[in-house]
Amino acid sequence: MSAFRLSLAIVFAAALLAGASLNSHAQQAAGGITVGDSDLGGVVRSAKGPEAGVWVIAETTDLPTKFAKIVVTDGEGRYVLPELPKATYSVWVRGYGLIDSPKVRATPGRLLDLTAVTAPTAAAAAEYYPAQWWYSMLKIPDKSLFPGTGPKGNGMATNMRSQSMWLANIKSQGCGSCHQLGNKPTRVIEPKLGKFDSSLSAWTYRMQVGPAAEIMVRNISQLDSQHALKNFADWTDRIAAGELPKSQPARPSGLERNVVITLWDWGTPTDYLHDEVATDRRDPTVNANGKIYGATEDSTDLVPVLDPVTHTTSQVRLVTRTPVKPRGMFISQHAEFLNQPSPYWGDKPLWGSHTTPHNPMFDHLGRVWFTSRIREAATPAFCRKGSEHPSAKLYPIEQAGRQLSVYDPKTEKLTLIDTCFTTHHLNFAEDENHTLWLSAGGFRAGYVGWFNTKLYDETGDEQKAQGWSPIILDTNGNGRRDEGYVGPNDPVDPTKDKRIVAGLYAIAYNPVDKSIWGTVQVYPGAIVRIMPGDNPPATVLAEYYEVPFPGYGPRGGDIDRDGVYWASLASGHLGKFDRRKCKGPLNGPTATGRHCPEGWTFYPLPGPQFETVTDPGSAQASYYTWVDQFDTFGLGRNVP
């Protein structure tokens, strides 16, 4: 995995030219641009005239953390960079069809016209294209090679059933979940990687370097490493020979030109940031102007903290309750994957998190909850068979890889909470108990967990406050959960309910009916609706909705205030599922996944599809979808 700079971006939509800060020292240009003491504004022109839809970037290292603000020019080439902290900035222009302009030093409170530089060649212009345009040049194995028949057949792995399944694994279900494939470090073989007799050899070596080498080798092997590596090698060879993307990206237009991006660097160069949180999603007024907390997963136990008002950073150290070894999904464990030096960091061990903090979430009291590891995987006795815990009686658990911690910024106290179930993502319900619902992440973990934070605050009893349930379908259609259900590998029995293995990745609370929703990452993937009932775990029931083609490969997802679910799909779509559109029975022996294709709508993501793929979609696949339920962004309520 390539190292990358940790930056936090805060994005707002604003009418820039009308929204510049005004004061008695405001300046106004002939073009109608007004700037105040904390703004920069002007017109961007090239030899061709005013440049519309290009970015103006202001960056400084004068503040305690590196800081940048980015805006887009309007149809007349005008821009305003609003509310800049007092500092000296490097300001320049970037845009499609251009190369970066020379950087100009400037301080806020003035008008500043800028000169854009037209790209001298198509190749020079393409250096600024998004990674997706370059990635779309990768040749994808033809549909005729699927399903694979193995090394003695067509060479394609036998577990690869279709071209779309292969695509899911090089996009957000595999390679693309960590890497920005198509960016410069991935589309070229850099000299510092080493000397090789071919690009194929270089790619074979590339898979074995860095702290996540083991999972990269595993993932490429699932694709059939020789097919995949040959395709990647061919891709880099064609790019090295001068081949360019077949299409050019369009410049921002319409509302896109109203977006203001603010960036802070935080963390350290060797950390990677999995998530961050700024407020309680149920009430975005919580922690207004407060500190922002990150989660660094396998890289470090130090949580990065940013104060966006003072532009300062700090850290909170997460700890474990009992000693544990550094371990995580991406940290290589076997010696054969620990000997290849990284072209960026040499043989220095980079990652060593004990707590693997994955996802943070604010509660209504301004505390930050983390899914983090507090012990080794073996669960305590109250989680197991023979326990009197209501959930353990129905579904005992012996292993759990990650638990919970909560940090109170007011007291700077960190509290560790042991859960029987593995935790991954988390979301609060809008109920009187402020119930925290938690996914397990891995698709093999066939349960959902919850934690009653109100009860815990009142009693301090972590055992009583938690519960969990397997995923049970109401296949007998009687509207209630019946014990004695058939297992995951058993055929449907119309007289009984059925347990399925459907480990949730994303998790979300539906404010309409208090149901819980999540994604399941197996191919083609699905979303799950869970109704806790009035006496969980005994009353927990689920519905399972498979993603129909042309969609496939859900990863992150969220729900809006109308109860509509939105999912990021590896097919290159934003998927929308509206349960109200389902025509057939939602439970019973036929309601096992493929019973509501009419509930789905697919919206292709912007940008090109892979050049050799004929199915609809995009070479892009987003990692996670969040819904702006309360219009905090400025584009309206319920915008995914």
Give how many domains the chain has, as a whole number: 3
Residues 117 and 147 in one domain: no
Residues 159 and 115 in one domain: no
Residues 138 and 117 in one domain: no
* pLDDT tens digits, 60-71: 999 999 999 999
At 24 the pLDDT is 43
Last residue of a domain, one of 240, 268, 283: 240
Domain annotation covers residue 465: yes
At 22 the pLDDT is 40
* pLDDT tens digits, 535-570: 999 999 999 999 999 999 999 999 999 999 999 999
| Secondary structure (3-state) at 283 | strand
Residues 427 and 574 in one domain: yes
Structure tokens at 445: 């973990």
Domain annotation covers residue 481: yes
Angle at 394 between CA 389 and CA 395, to 5 degrees: 95
Domain annotation covers residue 276: no
Q: How far is CA 353 from CA 300, 317, 326, 329, in A?
A: 4, 11, 5, 11
Residues 13 and 120 in one domain: yes
At 82 the pLDDT is 98
Residues 142 and 75 in one domain: no
Which secondary structure element, helix H or strand E, spans residue 576, and what is its range? Answer: strand 573-577
Residues 500 and 432 in one domain: yes
Domain annotation covers residue 103: yes
Structure tokens at 527: 């979303």
Residues 107 and 221 in one domain: no
Exposed/middle/buried for residue 503 (C-beta within 10 Å: 0-12, 13-18, 19+): buried
Last residue of a domain, one of 208, 240, 272: 240
* Residue found by looking up tokens 């641009």 in the block: 33
Domain annotation covers residue 267: no
At 20 the pLDDT is 43
Give the CATH number of the domain where residue 43 resides.
2.60.40.1120
Pairing of strands 40-46, 78-81: antiparallel
Residues 116 and 148 in one domain: no
Residues 74 and 182 in one domain: no
Domain annotation covers residue 478: yes
Structure tokens at 506: 């994303």
**φ/ψ (deg, to 5) at 225:** -60, -35
d(C-alpha 248, C-alpha 234), whole Å: 22
Residues 497 and 361 in one domain: yes
At 145 the pLDDT is 93
Domain annotation covers residue 505: yes
Give the CATH number of the domain where residue 577 resides.
2.130.10
Structure tokens at 585: 């029975």
Last residue of a domain, one of 228, 256, 284: 256
**Other CB atoms within 10 Å distance of the CB of residue 340:** 17
At 488 the pLDDT is 96
| Spans of the chain, pLDDT less than 70 | 1-26, 28-30, 225, 332-339
**Other CB atoms within 10 Å distance of the CB of residue 614:** 9
Domain annotation covers residue 568: yes
Which residues constitute the domain of residue 574? 355-604
Provide CB contacts within 8 A for 496, sequence distance 6+.
475, 476, 482, 484, 485, 486
Q: Can you give the pTM of this predicted structure? A: 0.94
What amino acid is encoded at 57 in this protein? I
Residues 369 and 478 in one domain: yes
